[in-house]
Amino acid sequence: DGGITQSPKYLFRKEGQNVTLSCEQNLNHDAMYWYRQDPGQGLRLIYYSQIVNDFQKGDIAEGYSVSREKKESFPLTVTSAQKNPTAFYLCASSVLTGAFGYTFGSGTRLTVV
Amino acid sequence: GQQLNQSPQSMFIQEGEDVSMNCTSSSIFNTWLWYKQDPGEGPVLLIALYKAGELTSNGRLTAQFGITRKDSFLNISASIPSDVGIYFCAVGSNYKLTFGKGTLLTVNP
């Protein structure tokens, strides 16, 4: 079945370490997105990519980095520069028709101790 | 970024009751969407609205795209326990979605 997979589901890291969250989709979607979710804050856009080898900053890109080397993959690195990295991270993908039919992954909960 | 005002922040209702939540914006948008998020999972699209004044139903769910294109509401009729979760409104612009802060719905059996 087609879908979008995030791994791992839970991730623990020590403060000061970089960590990479995986996101893979087999929906043949052109666009991919990373959102951060904090309690009571809704979903905030970190980065998005509409085509391979190109990506743009969202509203809260500081302390994060991404790559888009393949259409299917859009990994997110949470760097040590992110001051408050503990959160629930959601990856999504969509076609570029303007219909906004985002498909979300099941999320990764990152805890930094 | 664009601010969406979603209300109420949370609701506690009895099974069988109807629910209404809404979302407003200071800007005009051509696409309004409603998502539901189960605990620990990613959001799932419930209803998409593309035309001002449009009223769309999906089972017990009904959503409307405000005529001013600055608001939308979502109604759930005859709630059941599996309706619990966070409901988000979202607006689309430049191939990106901006989300409201969500309405947390709790249904007491």
d(CA B11, CA B13): 6
Q: Under an 8 A CB cutoff, do A43 and B88 touch?
A: yes
Quote the tokens at residue A7: 């791994």
Residues B52, B72: Cα–Cα separation, whole Å: 10
Burial level of B95, CB count in 10 A (0-12/13-18/19+)?
Answer: middle
pLDDT of residue A96: 75
Average of pLDDT values for B75-102? 92
Are the CB atoms for B39 and B85 separated by under 8 Å?
yes
Query: What does the pLDDT look like over A6-57, one tens digit per residue?
Result: 999 999 999 989 999 999 999 999 999 999 999 888 899 999 999 999 999 9
pLDDT of B80 over the 90 cut: yes
* Cβ–Cβ contact B39 with A under 8 A: no
Instruction: For chain A, say whether B44 makes contact (Cβ under 8 Å).
Output: yes
Closest CA to B85 of B4, B3, B5, B13: B13
Tell me the pLDDT tens digit for each residue of A48-84: 999 999 999 999 999 999 999 999 999 999 999 898 9
Instruction: Name every residue in A having a CB less than 8 A away from some CB of B.
Output: 6, 31, 33, 35, 40-45, 48, 50, 58-59, 90, 92, 94, 96, 98-102, 104-107, 109
Q: Which tens digits make up the pLDDT trace of B54-73?
A: 999 999 999 999 999 999 99
